[in-house]
Amino acid sequence: MFPVIRKSAFVLIFFLTGTLLMMLTVIDAMTKQSSTRDSLNQRAMLVKEFGLSDLALSTEARYTRHLTLADRHSAFQDHPTSFDHFPSGSIFLPPSQLTHD
Amino acid sequence: MIEFFRKQAYLIDFTMSSLLRRKGKNFGLLLVYTLIVFMLASVMLFSHSLRKEAGIILQQSPEIIVQRLVAGRHALIPAEYIQKMGRLRGVTSKKGRLWGYFYNPVVKANYTVMAPDHLDLSTTEVIIGAGIARTIGLGIGDYFTMRSNNDTFSFQVKDIIERNSELVTTDLVLISPKAYRVITGIPEGQFTDIVLSVRNPREVRKVAEKLVQKLPDIRPVLREEILRTYDSIFAWRQGIVFVLLIGALLAFVIFAWDKASGLSAEEKREIGILKAVGWESADILHMKFWEGIIISLSAFMLGYLAAYLHVFYSSAVLFESVLKGWATLYPQFKLVPFIDGLQIATLFFFTIFPYVVATIIPIWKASVTDPDAIMR
């Protein structure tokens, strides 16, 4: 026979486990930050070597692939009144130099 | 003190029994609540970590990229612009670059083709990004073809860029400058853009101003602008996702409010019975407080932990289709976890506080009413 656990004890154990796991995520993040420092530096060195300016998150349109190099008219590439037809164009804001004039 | 804890333990026992009596409803509520916290926490963790990583790696991007604009569009820049720039104080190097895009209609993928002059590449060799290798199924020594100007060019894959840098190199194709000019038809003496190195970061803006004065048809893109773009873009993206989530959040508010304000007959009867057997209003409020805490804190913990696993252990798979759009190439990357304590604290507050308040207020109204009237 298993001992009967009071419901309040179960709640307490549940929340303590949850808190412990949340603390573990912080420790995990800190550990990964230090263990991946070399790989981050490696990425940074590649950026330096090839003079890269952007993340390759969206490769469908040139103005979302190289967001920082987009000109003011990138989205209207076919016609001055044509709509932007790439989905990622609705997610990315224009580069800061065009919005901070 | 012990008496206080003992009383709270009994109240929690009772609350749990009460919650378990309406299993379906309460588990449904917990599920919806957890999903909302999961989505919000995923967006927060993903955008913050991506922003941090972009800030670290793009710190090495060129100090100044000079583009030439014709009719508002980016155009090729003549090599003589390097001479026209003249001697600029603080500038340590000026270099023309060749790069552009190539669309492969077979796999419907866009490549970024670069022709760096410092690599030891023959005209028939390429180095490709891991994303391209994965999508087409190429390995070192295989042949990679590009069709242009009615000709097909074959290159042997000399190397594949390391997988752990996919976030910046997934779609890169590196070829020799000579091969690039043949494929694209860009004549000698023309470049895609020019990059400048500046010794002192404080002089960058001044150099850019001088450049624009000398060459009015150019546009300098500064490193600080690149960093600012990535710093604000994720904030904005976070914003747009929040806009989308507002619908879900409002639905949840209505759900919680309906549950809280329209007490079911069973709940009213329960309160009436408790009052009739001697419970005080304060005890009932305590009990309902625990009910709110158990549901909202559980949702917060489960939602946050699921979001952490989703973002950092499954490469934020749910966001892939949103970012990918119509593209076929998408980097496989594992973000380095960076947690913003303030964001999590804000999420904690907005998860727990409104729900507990929305649960307690109507109960307080019911608990101060005469038990006989409630039970009728």
Say which CATH number the domain at B151 has: 2.40.40.20
Look at residue B215 in the predicted model and tell me its pLDDT.
92
Q: What is the pLDDT of residues B212-225, one digit of tens each?
A: 999 999 999 999 99
- Residues of B275-300 as b/e, b for ≥16 C-beta within 10 angstroms? beeebebebbebbbbbbbbbbbbbbb
Nearest residue of B to residue A76 by CA position? Answer: B73
Q: Are residues B157 and B113 in the same domain?
A: yes
CA distance B143 to B162: 19
| Residue B29: both structure tokens together | 């509520």
Q: Are residues B29 and B90 in the same domain?
A: no
Residue B115 lies in a domain: yes
Q: Are residues B76 and B215 in the same domain?
A: yes
Q: What is the pLDDT of residues A5-22, one digit of tens each?
A: 888 899 999 999 999 999
| Domains in chain B, number | 2
Residue B174 lies in a domain: yes
Q: Are residues B265 and B346 in the same domain?
A: yes
CA distance A72 to A101: 12
A36, B74: Cβ pair inside 8 Å?
Answer: no
Q: Are residues B314 and B333 in the same domain?
A: yes
Domain closes at, from B198, B222, B246:
B222
Rounded to 5°, the CA angle B317-B304-B319 comes to 20
- Extents of the domains making up chain A: 1-43, 53-101
Residue B35 lies in a domain: yes
| Residue B122: both structure tokens together | 């023959």
> How distant is the Cα of B89 from the closest Cα of chain A, in angstroms?
21
- Asked whether the predicted pLDDT for residue B255 surpasses 70, the reply is no
Sequence-ordered list of residues with C-beta below 8 angstroms from that of B207, at least 6 positions apart, any chain: B64, B88, B89, B90, B91, B196, B198
What is the distance between the terminal CA atoms of chain A, rounded to a whole angstrom? 74
CA distance A28 to A31: 5
CA distance A49 to B373: 79
Residues in chain A: 101
Domain closes at, from B187, B222, B257:
B222
Question: Quick check: B54 and A55 in contact, CB under 8 A?
Answer: yes
A56, B112: Cβ pair inside 8 Å?
Answer: yes
Q: What is the pLDDT of residues B191-206, one digit of tens each?
A: 999 999 998 888 999 9
> How distant is the Cα of A20 from the closest Cα of chain B, in angstroms?
10
Residue B44 lies in a domain: yes
H and E: helices and strands count for chain B = 13, 13
Domain closes at, from B205, B222, B239:
B222
Q: Are residues B46 and B104 in the same domain?
A: no
> How distant is the Cα of B111 from the closest Cα of chain A, in angstroms?
8
Look at residue B347 in the predicted model and tell me its pLDDT.
85
Looking at B84-93, B157-166, B256-265, B350-359, which range is the least confident one? B256-265
Q: Determine which of A48, A50, A71, A99 to mutate to test the interface with B (most B C-beta atoms within 10 Å).
A: A50
* Residue of A32, A47, A97 lying closest to B60 (CB–CB): A47
Residue B95 lies in a domain: yes
* Residue of A14, A49, A60 lying closest to B327 (CB–CB): A60
Q: What sign does the dihedral B347-B348-B354-B355 (CA atoms) show? A: positive
Query: What SS3 state is found at B195?
Result: strand
> How distant is the Cα of A1 from the closest Cα of chain B, in angstroms?
21
Q: Are residues B15 and B162 in the same domain?
A: no
Q: What is the pLDDT of residues A64-88, one digit of tens each?
A: 889 888 887 777 766 767 777 777 7
- CA-nearest of B130, B131, B160, B155 to B144 is B155
B305, A25: Cβ pair inside 8 Å?
Answer: yes
Residue B4 lies in a domain: no
Q: Are residues B209 and B234 in the same domain?
A: no
Contacts of A51 in chain B (CB under 8 A): 61-62, 65, 97, 195
Q: Are residues B151 and B175 in the same domain?
A: yes
Q: Determine which of A43, A66, A84, A101 to mutate to test the interface with B (most B C-beta atoms within 10 Å).
A: A43
CA distance A53 to A47: 7
Q: Are residues B118 and B188 in the same domain?
A: yes
Residue B2 lies in a domain: no
Domain assignment of residue B210, given as a range: 63-222
B109, A59: Cβ pair inside 8 Å?
Answer: yes
Query: How confident is the model over B158-181, as a mean pLDDT?
Result: 92
Residue B121 lies in a domain: yes
Look at residue B150 in the predicted model and tell me its pLDDT.
75
- CA-nearest of B285, B265, B290 to B275 is B285
